[in-house]
Chain A
């Protein structure tokens, strides 16, 4: 049962451009929405996270936008760099459950 839908599956962006990845969730009981970055051969690493009482959170070049009524949230990577090339996963969770999106493979071309 897919509870978190992530798009696009893959994304190619030029260096300096903006990368945007979208996620939608179904279960309104989720109360924490992290994004993870995963490089080949490594485990996921927490990038940034948001709670539903906030509509936007920014950390450096990474911004999460959250729309509670639409049950959607997105990751924006500003000034994308080749080193950002990785797979990105959104997730939704509460104390009892954690669901992941299918992942987006981001390629930033120099």
Chain B
């Protein structure tokens, strides 16, 4: 069974631009969560989607948004990029409706650099 895939793997943007990251969960998994990883702040929870609905949200500004499609694939969007948004963005999927409380499988991440 294929693991969680994320595209693109690397991305370079400039301040003020917006970016969309994509995540394909493990086949059959319906919960998708997003995380931001930086050297300074570590791993932080962004949001979780289940059945196309945002179920939980971390403490990030409204510039960070996401959505989930009927096939469970998810996208994350960051608008008006700031230098501090440079990070590794990780997606994780889980198989049950318990989402965060269930075993999560992480993708390799998308490395975003904002210049």
**Using a CB–CB distance below 8 Å, which chain A residues touch chain B?**
1, 31-32, 36, 41-46, 49, 89, 91, 93-103
Which 4 A-B pairs have CB atoms at the shortest separation, nearest pair first? A43-B106, A100-B43, A98-B45, A102-B42
What is the interface of chain A mostly: helix, strand, loop, or mixed? Answer: loop
Q: Are B42 and A98 in contact (CB under 8 A)?
A: no
> Chain B, 90-103, contact with A by CB distance < 8 Å: what is the 0/1 string?
10100000111101
Cα separation A102 to B109 with both chains bound (whole Å): 18
Counting chain A CB atoms within 10 Å of each CB, the highest count among B4, B104, B108 belongs to: B104
What separation, in Å, do the CA atoms of A102 and B42 have in the docked complex?
Answer: 5
Cα distance A94–B102 in the bound complex, in angstroms:
9
Q: Are B106 and A97 in contact (CB under 8 A)?
A: no
Task: Determine whether B79 belongs to the interface, using a CB cutoff of 8 Å to chain A.
Answer: no
CB–CB B103/A98 < 8 A: no
A32 to B92, CA, bound (A): 17
Please report the C-alpha to C-alpha distance between residue A44 and residue B58 in the assembled complex, in whole angstroms.
19
CB-CB under 8 A from B98, the residues of chain A are: 95
Given known pairs A43-B107, A44-B90, the reply for A95 and B4 (CB within 8 Å) is no
B54 within 8 A of partner (CB): no
Q: Are A95 and B42 in contact (CB under 8 A)?
A: no
B47 to chain A, nearest CB (A): 11
Q: Is the CB of B100 within 8 A of A101?
A: no
- The answer to whether B42 touches A94, judged by C-beta atoms less than 8 angstroms apart, is no
The answer to whether the Cβ of B77 comes within 8 Å of any Cβ in the partner chain is no
Quick check: is B105 within 8 A (CB to CB) of the other chain? Answer: yes
Does B101 lie within 8 Å of A95, measured CB to CB? yes
Q: Is there contact, CB below 8 Å, between A43 and B109? A: yes
**How far does the alpha carbon of A100 sit from the alpha carbon of B35 in the complex, in Å?**
10
B100 with A95: CB separation less than 8 A: yes
- Are the C-beta atoms of B108 and A46 separated by less than 8 Å? no
By a CB distance below 8 angstroms, the chain B residues around A36 are: 106
